[in-house]
Structure 1
Amino acid sequence: MTQKQDQQTITVNGLEVAYRFDGPEDAHVVLMANSLMSNYSMWDWNVPALADRYRVLRYDKRGHGGSQTTSGPYSISQLADDAVALLDALKIDKVHFIGLSMGGMIGQQMGARYPERIYSLSLCDTASEMPPRNLWEERFEIARKDGIPGLVDGTIKRWFTAPFIERAPQDIDKVRQMILGTGVEGYIGCASAVRDMAQTTMLLKIKTPTLILTGRQDPACTVEQATVLNRMIDGSKMVLIEEAAHLSNIEQPAVFNQVIREFIDSVDNTL
């Protein structure tokens, strides 16, 4: 039986964190971590492909969705510590980790610093460094002046290819509302962590089975940046999804789900 529960909150690291479980209670846990300017509903396209076999745990990082916003700036290491504290609070020893964009940056920290907590790492549409600094400063200025609505159209154009924006207005509207639900303070706090991130050498510490998955047309975290992850993480596997930009999990969910599921199953079957 698959059990579904609505959003719950728990205090970790002095922070109210929103989370949700789907799937059988006695199964291995898959932890899913979101992108910047999103909440855990970004995984609605993917959870059904996992929840028959796995206990899927989704959560909102600090400053996003239903989780508390604390004063920033944040760091990726702090956000990874939040994720581990959530697992501790829920008494979960080990997970298959799936992170997209900023979630994948958190995953890099988890794999390098908390390897004993990770069965497998799926790092999707992500990077180990995100220059240039002035690009982030420009976005912060827009957010302070116009709020998140000033960033929403540009974000959607980076997240999806033009043909998908044209053919999937309902999906785009759902994503638009998700972006608009992000507060300016939480956005700047988390985006500052991305701006200041320098994790490339840390990748050498990752020994966990790792999948690098990215959309071929991703302009935010490019194929070149994914290739860096693939080269630096020993034994990692890299897969490109055709006709997908940054949120490849929403633009090409069937392919994304198949690749992720086959990878996680292949690791889980050896445990």
Structure 2
Amino acid sequence: MPNITINNFSCQYAYHQQSQDAPCVLFLNGIMSPLESWQSQAQLAQKMGFSTLQYEYRGQWRSEVTTAPYTMQTHVDDLLALLQALDIQRAHFVGTSYGGMTSMKFASQYPDIPLSLMLITTTALIRPLPRGILSNWQSLTEKNDIEGLFRAFVPDLYSEAFQKKNPDLITQRLASFTVALRDMPDFCAGQTLLNLAQFPDIADGNLLNNLTRIPCRSLIVAGAEDRLYPPTDSAEIAKRIKNSRMVTIEGAGHAAVMEQPEAINLLLAGHLLMEA
């Protein structure tokens, strides 16, 4: 996959352009997920005739880890530069968790660029409980303790039923993080910077208040078993984006894209068809 230098960093991305006229679907990762985490959804969008763009944030996985500090505004500026470099005028934004936050902040500042939003298990205001969880993750990344980080986030990201049913998938995910740390020595440093970027942007209430600026059709997807950003957080988003509807996936934890890809794909297909 190629890298492109934008806004003073090297960005890893995958752009599949169907044609000059094909609308683009942009996928925005969770904080600890590489761009491949969207592969099933990207393939679906391509089969439906859409161009697709996946990428990794500054400091994430194979994108360059630059010096501190990062803010959510940094991500907005980076994304705008990426879209401009690839000559993408408008796109459908699909983001989960951290990617949902980035999508909302971008859409509140550049409301004419998103054709639509699909926001999955995310929040516009980090409450004290998840803030404590994120602080624990940060302390582990600062120590380069990848196994400790993994053990800490499993119960908060995955539903209990998914953990019991898919122990092999959980083990494979740990292995992928171990390989990442081996191949990318600054992996944990990047994760620390990404984590810090959420504060104060997603904790001071400004993003939540600015959601009223978003005019495009928005699908808000919650996981019924999401402990990190529960359905009440999704409801607060849906309440403020006027042209929105909310769906809750029963049995899904925070990592709904991984736990229930079929349900996510069904919702994505319906959402894109409504926008076609």
1:40: which partner in 2?
35
Identify if the C-alpha distance between structure 1 residues 135 and 173 changes in structure 2 by more than 3 Å, giving closer, same or farther.
closer
2:11: which partner in 1?
17
Residues 87-236 of structure 1 mapped to structure 2, 5 A cutoff: 87-132=83-128, 133-180=131-178, 181=180, 183-196=187-200, 197=202, 198=204, 199-236=207-244
> Contact (CA 8 Å) 1:221, 1:246: kept in 2 or not?
yes
> Contact (CA 8 Å) 2:45, 2:52: kept in 1 or not?
yes
Per the TM alignment, residue 77 of structure 1 is displaced from its structure 2 partner at its CA by 1.6
Identity percentage of aligned residues: 26
Per the TM alignment, residue 162 of structure 1 is displaced from its structure 2 partner at its CA by 2.1
- 5+ long unaligned stretches in structure 1: 1-6
- 5+ long unaligned stretches in structure 2: 182-186
Q: Deviation above 6 Å: which 4+ runs of structure 1?
A: none
For 1:92 and 1:15, the matched residues in 2 are separated by 19
Per the TM alignment, residue 19 of structure 1 is displaced from its structure 2 partner at its CA by 0.5
Secondary structure at 1:86's aligned position in 2?
helix
TM-score (norm 2): 0.89
For 2:134 and 2:114, the matched residues in 1 are separated by 31
For 2:27 and 2:175, the matched residues in 1 are separated by 20
> Contact (CA 8 Å) 2:83, 2:89: kept in 1 or not?
yes
Structure 1 window deviating more from structure 2 (44-53 vs 196-205): it is 44-53
Per the TM alignment, residue 174 of structure 1 is displaced from its structure 2 partner at its CA by 4.1
Structure 1 window deviating more from structure 2 (195-204 vs 219-228): it is 195-204
Per the TM alignment, residue 143 of structure 1 is displaced from its structure 2 partner at its CA by 2.2
Structure 1 window deviating more from structure 2 (19-28 vs 229-238): it is 19-28
For 1:169 and 1:44, the matched residues in 2 are separated by 21
Deviations for 1:19-69, whole angstroms, at most 9, x for unmatched residues?
Answer: 012462442110000001111111123222211121111000011121001
Deviations for 1:70-121, whole angstroms, at most 9, x for unmatched residues?
Answer: 1223111211211111110111101000010000000001211111211001
Write the letter of the residue equivalent to 1:40: L
> Contact (CA 8 Å) 1:214, 1:239: kept in 2 or not?
yes
For 2:222 and 2:10, the matched residues in 1 are separated by 31
Per the TM alignment, residue 242 of structure 1 is displaced from its structure 2 partner at its CA by 1.0
1:3: which partner in 2?
none
> Contact (CA 8 Å) 1:37, 1:178: kept in 2 or not?
no
For 2:72 and 2:8, the matched residues in 1 are separated by 17
